[in-house]
Structure 1
Amino acid sequence: MNSTERPRLSVRSPADLVAAVPYLLGFHPADSVVVVAVRGRRVVFAARGDLPDPGTDPGPVARHLAQVVVRQDADAATVIGYGPAARVTGAVDAVGGALDDAGLVVLDALRVTDGRWWSYLCGEPACCPADGTPYDPAASQVSAAAVFAGQVALPDRAALAAQVSPLDGPVRLAMRRATARARRRLAALTGEPSGGGPSGGALSGGGPAGEATGGRRGEARAVRSAGTAAVRAAFRRQRRGERLDDDEVAWLTVLLTQVAVRDHAWSRTDGRDADISLWTDVFRRAEPDLTAAPGTLLSFAAWRAGHGALAAVALERVLAAHPEYPLAVLLDDALRRGLPPSELDGWPANAGGSVLRRRRRRPPR
């Protein structure tokens, strides 16, 4: 499921809303049920879920989507199903019923497929013919306004996932060599053998393994100092429009395995375009065992910026490789519950006071 902050688009009809949804999500949905939530006259949230498999009870998906929308303090919503009627109708009905049970007004219930839309709530042939109403997104004023505002609608969700996929070929070979150098550099700093993977330590306040041991406090301080310097240098370079070289990326990813360094990077990460660009680049270039921290930081930056779909696909890649990484599990829970990014304001400094709690990750739906 994905959520985003909305661009300011003028929506006056079902056709306008159908044209706007891909820009609200960041991609053109297929085999999906989407809920567009409204507060007053403004779209405040969009949530997407996969259509249930044929013969599967749509109730659980419907109730979950309704709960997520209710958390946005919305007062009304429109439900849109993408796909053939045999799969869409039951899901749209179930979501509409769940929204109604939750006290929200269902403004409309639509089905979209093959360049046409149908309304389940309108029976007037003049405006909602039985064979559907054709629409052309390319000719829509809503689409034109979204593009003018810099909004992007990728062809599908797979295209979005490709934007955070690992880089291969010569880039991977160069990064493998650079990471080996970075591991040796860290080993020299700590006096430990080179190697290691993502840290599974405390979400905040906990330091690198062994930090509490008196004889190693100096090494831990040295690592934190090196990590702080690497993070600050990376942000400075990115905001000047400069790309990190292989050794800088490798050194940063190795240091980010230390929780104190990761938390410092987290505290400096917001929803700025430069933050998203930085962590996307580092995530894609990082060696497989070092992707947890940069991928989660990318997800956090995207979430803060309102790019919920990007946040979700980044987390999916992280959790596929590192299913127990605590910060990724935390963000996954927040996204699934539809919590606003403000719930993590002040993290990681005041983590103990957050309303969020670490949970076991739900199995994939």
Structure 2
Amino acid sequence: MTANCSLAVRTPADLIAIVPFVLGYHPHHSVATVGLIGSRIEFAVCHDLPPPDWTEADVRVAANEVAAAVARQRSKLVAIVGYGPPPRVLPAVLRSAEAVRGRGLEVLDVMRVSDDRWWSYLCSDPSCCPPEGTPCLPGDSVIAAEATFQGQVALPSRKDLTAQVAAVGGAERAEMVRATERARRRFTDLIAEDLTAERYGRLVRQQGRLAVRAAEKCYRSGGSLEPDEIAWLGALLVERSVEDFALDRAATAHDWRIRLWTDVLRRVEPAYVAPPACLLGFTAWQAGRGSLARVAIDRALAEEPRHELAGLLHNVLGFGLSPQMLRVRGHR
């Protein structure tokens, strides 16, 4: 679920042009459900077209699941846009429209986009919706420029979005492997100092808080962490109390904080991925960047399927809950 991009939609062409900026990527072979309040987009949620071997019942179940998430939002007016060839798009968008109507929502339009043209399934007037389709607005249209000016980005595909949270490779990865080994030895030495039950974990918590604050200060001023600093922070975040400390501080979303946790996520070794992935996911969710939050949490669960915070955020995103509807820290 992706939140408001603060742009007014005046025409169907405007809506189609702005959806990729709301999602963060250009959808392909997908169905996007867009919620509006007045002329402004409040959110958008996107899911893949049903596979060709799905039954009618499968399609209905999937549409109802999405409609349930959509109904939890503030918008009572939605537009549904399918991307792909007619045989696959038509049944999917019609079932989606039926499902959201069943939840008491009004459907503004049901459309299809393919090969830089769009069609409306609710308009039969050839003067505004010709059979051959209507050309989509160019990439340098006014509304696209407005979105870009506001800092919205539309990557070529969801694959490109996923690549933004993928592990670095090459020389960077080799350097992180060495830095991680140094961090592990340093962490072992730190734990060894906590010899009594009274002291156990206290030094880890102290060092973790120092590392989180130092990382935030660095990125707030436009800097970046060195490999040894990232590896050390990654090792400390494994401690639950350190992860909680960083989570509490991420309650206010900032672009620099998204950059921080993206850098840490992409550079730590697999054993340390889940905490920074969750921190990125939570921060992106708070900032209204639901698609980025989703791929970050997917990465966390791929590395650590039973990670508690990742599982919680997976459910939050799956249910389409907004930051205003739930405070994560209150449910930990």
Shorter-chain TM-score: which interval? Answer: over 0.9
1:228 maps to which residue?
A: 209
Within 1, Cα distance between the matches of 2:326 and 2:108?
32
- Please tell me whether the aligned partners of residues 4 and 41 of structure 2 are also in contact (alpha carbons under 8 angstroms): yes
2:8/2:40 contact within 8 Å kept:
no
Inter-partner Cα distance in structure 2 for 1:304 and 1:139 = 29
2:219 corresponding residue in structure 1: 238
- Aligned residue for 1:297, secondary structure, equals helix
The 8 Å contact of residues 274 and 300 in structure 2, kept in 1 or not, is answered as yes
Q: Distance in 2 between matches of 1:93 and 1:113?
A: 17
Q: For 1:201-220, list aligned pairs within 5 A.
A: 215-220=196-201
Q: Does 1:144 align with 2:163?
A: no
Q: Look up the SS of the partner of 1:74 in the other structure.
A: coil
User: Given that residues 40 and 75 in structure 1 are in contact (C-alpha distance below 8 angstroms), is that contact kept between their aligned partners in structure 2?
Assistant: no
CA distance in 2, matches of 1:59, 1:137: 34
Deviates more, 1:336-345 or 1:302-311: 336-345
- 2:264 matches 1:288: no
Tell me the CA shift for residue 331 of structure 1.
Answer: 0.4
The count of corresponding residues between Structure 1 and Structure 2 is 328
CA distance in 1, matches of 2:100, 2:284: 28
The alpha-carbon deviation at position 140 of structure 1 amounts to 2.4
**What is the match of residue 334 of structure 1?**
316
The SS at the match of 1:78 is strand
Other structure's SS at 1:267 match: helix
Change (3 A) 1:252 1:139: closer
Q: Name the TM-score, length of structure 2 as normaliser.
A: 0.95
Q: Does 1:351 align with 2:307?
A: no
Aligned CA RMSD, in angstroms, stands at 1.6
Deviation beyond 3 Å, 4+ runs, structure 1 = none
Q: Find the residue that maps to 1:225 and give its secondary structure.
A: helix
* 1:175 match: 176
Runs (5+) with no aligned partner, structure 1: 193-210, 353-365
Asked if residue 325 in structure 1 is aligned to residue 326 in structure 2, the reply is no
Amino acid at match of 2:151: G
In structure 1, how many angstroms separate the alpha carbons of the residues matched to 2:211 and 2:176? 17
Measured in 2, the distance between the counterparts of 1:32 and 1:267 equals 35
Cα deviation, 1:134-179, whole Å, max 9, x if unaligned, reads: 1233242211211222211000001111111101111111111111
Q: 2:8 corresponds to which residue?
A: 10
- Normalization by structure 1: what TM-score? 0.87
- Corresponding residue SS for 1:138: coil
**What's 1:273 paired with?**
255
The structural deviation recorded for 1:342 is: 2.6
Percent identity between the two aligned chains: 47
